Amino acid sequence: MSSTFGTLFKVSTFGESHGKGVGAIIDGCPPGMELRAQDIQVQLDRRRPGQSKMATDRQEADQVSILSGVEFDRTLGTPIGLLVANKDQRPGDYGEMDQVPRPSHADYTYQMKYGIRASSGGGRSSARETIGRVAAGAVAEKYLRETCGIEIIAWVSAVGRIEAAGVDSARVTREEVDAHIVRCPDVGAAKAMEDEILQARGEHDSIGGVVSCVCRKVPTGLGEPVFDKLEALLAQAMLSLPASKGFEIGSGFGGARMRGSLHNDPFVRKGERLGTLTNYSGGVQGGISNGEEILFRVAFKPVATIGLAQTTVTMDGREVVLEAKGRHDPCVVPRAVPIVETMTALVLMDLLLRQRSRQVNF
Amino acid sequence: MSSTFGTLFKVSTFGESHGKGVGAIIDGCPPGMELRAQDIQVQLDRRRPGQSKMATDRQEADQVSILSGVEFDRTLGTPIGLLVANKDQRPGDYGEMDQVPRPSHADYTYQMKYGIRASSGGGRSSARETIGRVAAGAVAEKYLRETCGIEIIAWVSAVGRIEAAGVDSARVTREEVDAHIVRCPDVGAAKAMEDEILQARGEHDSIGGVVSCVCRKVPTGLGEPVFDKLEALLAQAMLSLPASKGFEIGSGFGGARMRGSLHNDPFVRKGERLGTLTNYSGGVQGGISNGEEILFRVAFKPVATIGLAQTTVTMDGREVVLEAKGRHDPCVVPRAVPIVETMTALVLMDLLLRQRSRQVNF
Amino acid sequence: MSSTFGTLFKVSTFGESHGKGVGAIIDGCPPGMELRAQDIQVQLDRRRPGQSKMATDRQEADQVSILSGVEFDRTLGTPIGLLVANKDQRPGDYGEMDQVPRPSHADYTYQMKYGIRASSGGGRSSARETIGRVAAGAVAEKYLRETCGIEIIAWVSAVGRIEAAGVDSARVTREEVDAHIVRCPDVGAAKAMEDEILQARGEHDSIGGVVSCVCRKVPTGLGEPVFDKLEALLAQAMLSLPASKGFEIGSGFGGARMRGSLHNDPFVRKGERLGTLTNYSGGVQGGISNGEEILFRVAFKPVATIGLAQTTVTMDGREVVLEAKGRHDPCVVPRAVPIVETMTALVLMDLLLRQRSRQVNF
Amino acid sequence: MSSTFGTLFKVSTFGESHGKGVGAIIDGCPPGMELRAQDIQVQLDRRRPGQSKMATDRQEADQVSILSGVEFDRTLGTPIGLLVANKDQRPGDYGEMDQVPRPSHADYTYQMKYGIRASSGGGRSSARETIGRVAAGAVAEKYLRETCGIEIIAWVSAVGRIEAAGVDSARVTREEVDAHIVRCPDVGAAKAMEDEILQARGEHDSIGGVVSCVCRKVPTGLGEPVFDKLEALLAQAMLSLPASKGFEIGSGFGGARMRGSLHNDPFVRKGERLGTLTNYSGGVQGGISNGEEILFRVAFKPVATIGLAQTTVTMDGREVVLEAKGRHDPCVVPRAVPIVETMTALVLMDLLLRQRSRQVNF
């Protein structure tokens, strides 16, 4: 298991879905920043299930507690311990599922890798695991915003075959994103996406989607070629999220179909600095931010837990029919929005500190 | 700069395109494996430019020399130093380009990040940088093949709008891939791709493409949730490659349009082990290999160096028209095939060693 | 701040002395080991202050809670979260000391490094910080004992000028160590040490000492040359302990006065394996364990908090006389015994997992 | 094997004693520093054997070549490759020794750990391995000197029972150190040390010694508690050196015998900053530099290779008498002086970059 992320802003997460709690330690947060639990709670609340009829109804307050690293609402430069207690502690609850690895869940692979697995709810592979990341990422996000003015805004750009259009990455705000429950700022598409999700739910099924993200006002120079290029760490961060299946930056897979004469972003003067006329690069050249918007998209598969009956086999190979009980979130992407934002913040924060160590004049 | 990759099989690469040479140190290769320079040379030769009329004509022999870590053709367990001399050492050669950051190259971002940059040829952002990775990855590949039987096969699955069809990931061989110069085992598509590339070349332009990759016989249990999930490290590895813009595994972006009832991979008995009936997961569940084929795709943008005139600005903002001289590779994907394979080997190798450290019975 | 230790058995600690609590996350503990809070509590109890008239009287129960990574008393292979609540939460309590950096404490350096520091009790530089290490190290110790039979026994070998003699490293037990309150298994020396400590206490002063440690039944082959040699990581681990000033292994500083003909440890047959006749090497050759006892010593300075008046200056340079109030531990070494043992376990545990990843036959 | 050191200024070394060469890659050197091979050569020349009648007579030019990362004598911020060719390539030369693990060498432990070892000269456990460190450390040293004025001076403070006295750490210069062949600036002691070494040599024996080191003008604030405290990383660095057996900082083992009232370093005003009246702390408090001199000592055992006959056993347990042929260095400490200095530079350099990343005002 590798639950640690980052070189200088190092985050270690912990916690199973039905154990005592989940959380994170941030080792390397700069000292002197104002920080209150509420600053973190904002993103945890956006991540929380049970916000709507479309999401699972399980009520989880997910209140974060700061265990260390902060005194009189100011960071000390020491490790920041963050803990969210689980209200729903019930080892062994799922019962029969223990014998049947759920299709497209991690039950089978955890069992094969570790020879043991949490008795219920997915344990560490559960979506609850992301709470530690979101909490830590909210701290990074605050720092980036206050020291550099960096804005990180994600939104749902597709649900199933419904795609958003007309989202202006230069201006979209978190308020616009949150205005509709599916977190798509394209109002027309949002309504269609809601219908799509409700229909999937009605059919005891689930549906996939895409989250887009823009980072604005990122200073030029972030990214550590060659292995820790900005887009490489973003890709790692995004593919480490539960249910994600793809990542693309700038032109992405569409760029593979283009000619260089169109794809190249010519430089132009933008006030005091150079900018580019187009942005097929997605704000990154040679693995380093170029001062333009960083733009990327993340694909999420449909949630694996569905009410429909599925024919599968038990650990010892006997065929069975599996039918999930209870209510489950039919589409993960609305809740993935704050997760994508905070993971992005973890990437940018670490790269900012790494770049800062370099700045000296001879 | 972060030119080190891996936790236990740790690779550090070095070298600019027009300096003395490029290479890598592998720290952590297991002892006792037979290894000769020729084992590494095979993949370097496949990566080498100048293999055809479609590629750049620059002749670079790229002969690798093993500096350390091997004695009497056997690895010692100590760091393996690998060096490929540059035949083409010409600092300052590109001349006027120094003042003009080439569009969609890394000239501008390197200059802004480091306050200095190599005087010619892209330096560390050049495609020559990949030589160190390919050399190190060839060592990993040999180890994986000999100890686990792992097969890693990549091929060109798209050039521009031409897409390959009918490639059987379960059977495709490296010989089939190399049978055609574009490295597409779908013979009909290969011919169309060749035409597409030659047409771009004729128009002094370049064209993007997609590389697909399959890993067969990967043991169950590789991948370190949560941040070093198998797909997360693959995504980092692929997005760290020059010119790559996207990564998807299994169903990828297509999965975002699917219903869970279709996307879920039911378990079935496959001889002694469990397998899955479908493989939308791409061989990975919860970030851990499940014993099925690992299948992913990487999008590459069109090469930024083109012969067509481009209007851009100098570092101090004056408008100029830039026109690349000499012959340049109009499409990177055929040569990207061995690069994708060897980077994949680096990921699997490190995860194999990490998983091995865990195996103990109580 | 760098509160993370280890490559595969990775421990991240957190917590200030007067905040909500202290603890650790272990990322990388092998799955399947039986583990209960009580297994950890044993070493925390030995570390706890207030065990005798010689130690500080502050009562701190230091009960550990396992937050994650264990289910039905068995490790899952996922991160193990460990938390010890602070009973003594009093930010700002020390009052006037805020203006006066205490001599030979870390008040001044923390302030200069971070621009801020915990308002009381040393914060992260307090001895309470070691709780996280001891808790994590107790888990490692259990694993090493149960899978390899490794025994790690530390004891007080000097207090001031009183030195222990006649401790047989091959046979000394933890019971013998704990038989006397100063944790010196040499009964005569123990009594003299106790007198020395009580005398220092009576004079409102403090006294330094030395802790010796033996590791028995360590398998041959642990240690990762060249930078992570076994003795190098032990040295790092020991010098990272509060108040430690020196480390020596085997012959140590005494070895610098010796001739090679005496110092060399000739090989002899010991049953099935080779051993050495003497052990000036301290169980390590070339940075790798050789199967003999690993023997080292750690020097601890006298505790910096003393009741005697000290003339010093405030942060802005005014001369003041400082006199510590309350009762303080006049000698740290008896409580350092379990800390040295558990830090040693962290080093050996990580090296064991690293070595295990290497073992394969061609 | 772990041949990588540092977090931001990351050094990876490679090379066996009788292979093609030895060297290092520095990943993370700040850009823009002037650097020529000669800057590095100075310390390599001081490390080189064959400088005197006391050292081994083997002539090794040890000329360093800069492979990458530097253009027009200026660092690019990219990995700096450093290579020193071996003139003495003779695998298999030592012959009979292959069957007989030399006492107190690493032959036995390498064989047990890796199942294979270099056929001659110690391979990676040879003193030649330090060339990579010295070369990389010389780069760090130059940076520290030019950007912060840091001075790192080591000297021989003991050979056998002869100890130097009257070395003023505040003023000692490298010229004074190099004035005498044993590198002890105490002229009287130097002569006695020389005699001691020659006597050992005459008796086909070897002798140990101690190297002391002072770092002057180190800025306040370097060191990353808790595990990467300045003294902890120094201890790791020093104990990673071949033949080292002990490390102490400030009062060291002597501090264990002291009372707190004497050992505490009272603060006093020193111009604009606070300083301490005494320096038993050795320039470090709480793991962080306090602006005073950093003072430490490293113990080295007598060289294991001696001409005197030794009774030992073969790998399969047969008793044999071993007698080293050829001329060998009877005392390692004069040559250890530049090694200690450059390893110290690696530690300080990495900590400087890490601290720099933190500096921001809110």
* Average confidence (pLDDT) per 10 residues, chain B, 362 residues: 96 95 97 97 92 58 95 97 88 62 96 91 91 98 97 98 96 97 97 97 97 98 98 98 98 98 97 95 98 98 96 95 84 97 98 87 46
Q: What is the mean pLDDT of residues D36-65?
A: 82
Residue D157 has which token pair? Answer: 């403070």
Residue B186 has which token pair? Answer: 């779908």
Q: How far apart are CA B211 and CA B184, in angstroms?
A: 9
pLDDT score recorded for residue A220:
96
Q: Mean pLDDT of all residues in chain D?
A: 93
pLDDT score recorded for residue D97:
55
Largest CA distance in chain B: 71
Nearest-CB residue to A76 (from C74, C76, C114) = C114
Residue B317 has which token pair? Answer: 């903002």
Using an 8 Å Cβ cutoff, are C118 and C18 in contact? yes
Residue D71 has which token pair? Answer: 């253009």
Closest-CA residue of chain D to C162: D257
Residue B315 domain flag: yes
Residue of B300, B289, B281 whose CA lies nearest to B339? B300
Residue with the bigger pLDDT between D213 and A361: it is D213
C114, C131, C227, C313, best to mutate vs chain D, most D CBs in 10 Å: C227
Nearest-CB residue to A67 (from C14, C114, C115) = C14
Pairwise CB contact (< 8 Å): A110 & B288: yes
Residue C362 domain flag: no
- List, for residues D281-302, the tens digit of each pLDDT value: 999 999 999 999 999 999 999 9
- Asked if A147 reaches chain D (Cβ–Cβ under 8 Å), the answer is yes
Nearest-CB residue to B263 (from A1, A302, A330) = A302
The pLDDT-based confidence of C122 (bands split at 50, 70, 90) is confident
Q: Which residues of B touch C361 (CB under 8 A)?
A: 32
Residue B308 domain flag: yes
- Asked if C67 reaches chain A (Cβ–Cβ under 8 Å), the answer is yes
**Containing domain of residue A315, as a range?**
4-356
- List, for residues A154-207, the tens digit of each pLDDT value: 999 999 999 999 899 999 999 999 999 999 999 999 999 999 999 999 999 999
Q: Is the dihedral of CA D176, D181, D185, D188 positive or negative?
A: negative
A-contacting residues in B 234-273 (Cβ below 8 Å): 234-240, 242, 244-253, 255-261, 263-269
pLDDT score recorded for residue D306:
95
Pairwise CB contact (< 8 Å): B32 & C354: no
Residue of A342, A355, A353 whose CA lies nearest to A215? A342
The pLDDT-based confidence of D59 (bands split at 50, 70, 90) is low
CATH number for A157: 3.60.150.10
Residue C135 domain flag: yes
Q: State yes or no: pLDDT of C174 exceeds 90.
A: yes
- Chain B: give the shortest CA distance to residue C43, in Å: 23
- Asked if A105 reaches chain D (Cβ–Cβ under 8 Å), the answer is no
Residue of D128, D129, D154, D122 whose CA lies nearest to D141? D154
- Asked if D161 reaches chain C (Cβ–Cβ under 8 Å), the answer is yes
- List, for residues B35-89, the tens digit of each pLDDT value: 999 999 999 999 988 676 565 555 558 999 999 999 999 999 999 999 999 987 7
Pairwise CB contact (< 8 Å): B208 & A2: no
Residue C348 has which token pair? Answer: 């050996």
pLDDT score recorded for residue D361:
47
- Chain B: give the shortest CA distance to residue A107, in Å: 8
- List, for residues C49-106, the tens digit of each pLDDT value: 867 656 555 555 899 999 999 999 999 999 999 999 998 776 555 555 568 999 999 9
Residue D19 has which token pair? Answer: 């292979």
Residues (pLDDT < 70) of chain A are: 50, 52-60, 90-98, 360-362
pLDDT score recorded for residue A225:
97
- List, for residues C142-155, the tens digit of each pLDDT value: 999 999 999 999 99
Q: How far apart are CA C81 and CA C211, in angstroms?
A: 29
Using an 8 Å Cβ cutoff, are B19 and B86 in contact? yes
Pairwise CB contact (< 8 Å): D256 & C285: no
- List, for residues C257-281, the tens digit of each pLDDT value: 999 999 999 999 999 899 999 999 9
Closest-CA residue of chain C to A67: C20
Nearest-CB residue to D8 (from A33, A147, A357) = A357
Give the number of C-alpha atoms closer than 13 A to the C-alpha of residue D158, restricted to the C-beta side: 19
pLDDT score recorded for residue B166:
87
C358, C359, C361, best to mutate vs chain B, most B CBs in 10 Å: C358
Q: How far apart are CA B156 and CA B297, in angstroms?
A: 10
Q: Residue C314, annotated ligand binder?
A: no
- Chain A: give the shortest CA distance to residue D285, in Å: 16
A259, A318, A321, A346, best to mutate vs chain B, most B CBs in 10 Å: A259
Residue C361 domain flag: no
Q: Which residues of B touch C362 (CB under 8 A)?
A: 32-34, 146-147
pLDDT score recorded for residue B89:
74
Q: How far apart are CA B25 and CA D338, in angstroms?
A: 25
Quote the number of domains for chain B. 1
- Asked if C302 reaches chain D (Cβ–Cβ under 8 Å), the answer is yes
Q: Cis ω on the peptide bond leading into residue C226 (within 30° of 0)?
A: yes
Q: Residue C46, annotated ligand binder?
A: no
Percentage, residues of chain A above pLDDT 90: 87
pLDDT score recorded for residue D96:
54
Q: How far apart are CA B127 and CA C46, in angstroms?
A: 58
Nearest-CB residue to D356 (from A31, A357, A362) = A357
What are residue B360's phi and psi, to 5 degrees? -150, 150
| Residue written as token pair 């109009």 | B330
Residue B300 domain flag: yes
Pairwise CB contact (< 8 Å): C116 & A28: no
Residue B313 domain flag: yes
The DSSP letter of residue A95 is: G
Tally C-beta pairs within 8 A across A and C: 166
Closest-CA residue of chain A to B298: A253
Q: State yes or no: pLDDT of C361 exceeds 50.
A: no
Q: Residue B305, annotated ligand binder?
A: yes
Using an 8 Å Cβ cutoff, are A212 and A154 in contact? yes
Q: How far apart are CA A125 and CA B225, in angstroms?
A: 8
CB-based contacts of C68: which residues, under 8 Å, 6+ apart? A14, A15, A16, A19, A20, A21, A22, C78, C79, C80, C81
Nearest-CB residue to A30 (from D7, D34, D358) = D358
Q: Which residues of C touch A14 (CB under 8 A)?
A: 25, 27, 67-69, 78-81
Q: Which residues of A touch B240 (CB under 8 A)?
A: 226-229, 232, 287
Residue with the bigger pLDDT between D344 and A362: it is D344
Pairwise CB contact (< 8 Å): B246 & A256: yes
Cα distances from A49 to residues A209, A213, A343, in angstroms, run 17, 21, 18
Collapsing DSSP to helix, strand or coil, D164 comes out as: coil
Q: How far apart are CA A249 and CA A289, in angstroms?
A: 12
- To the nearest 10 degrees (0 to 180), the angle between helices B230-239 and B333-356 is 150
Q: How far apart are CA C127 and CA A126, in angstroms?
A: 37
Nearest-CB residue to A269 (from B5, B106, B313) = B313
| Residue written as token pair 């300083």 | D275
- Asked if D214 reaches chain C (Cβ–Cβ under 8 Å), the answer is no
Pairwise CB contact (< 8 Å): B226 & A124: yes
Q: State yes or no: pLDDT of D362 exceeds 50.
A: no
- Asked if C98 reaches chain A (Cβ–Cβ under 8 Å), the answer is no
Pairwise CB contact (< 8 Å): B235 & A258: no
Q: Residue D212, annotated ligand binder?
A: no
Q: Residue B179, annotated ligand binder?
A: no
- Asked if A15 reaches chain C (Cβ–Cβ under 8 Å), the answer is yes
Using an 8 Å Cβ cutoff, are B115 and B130 in contact? no
Q: How far apart are CA B78 and CA B68, in angstroms?
A: 8
Residue C173 domain flag: yes
Cα distances from B5 to residues A355, B10, B234, D98, D358, in angstroms, run 19, 6, 12, 35, 25
pLDDT score recorded for residue C362:
45
- Asked if A306 reaches chain B (Cβ–Cβ under 8 Å), the answer is yes
Q: How far apart are CA C29 and CA C36, in angstroms?
A: 14
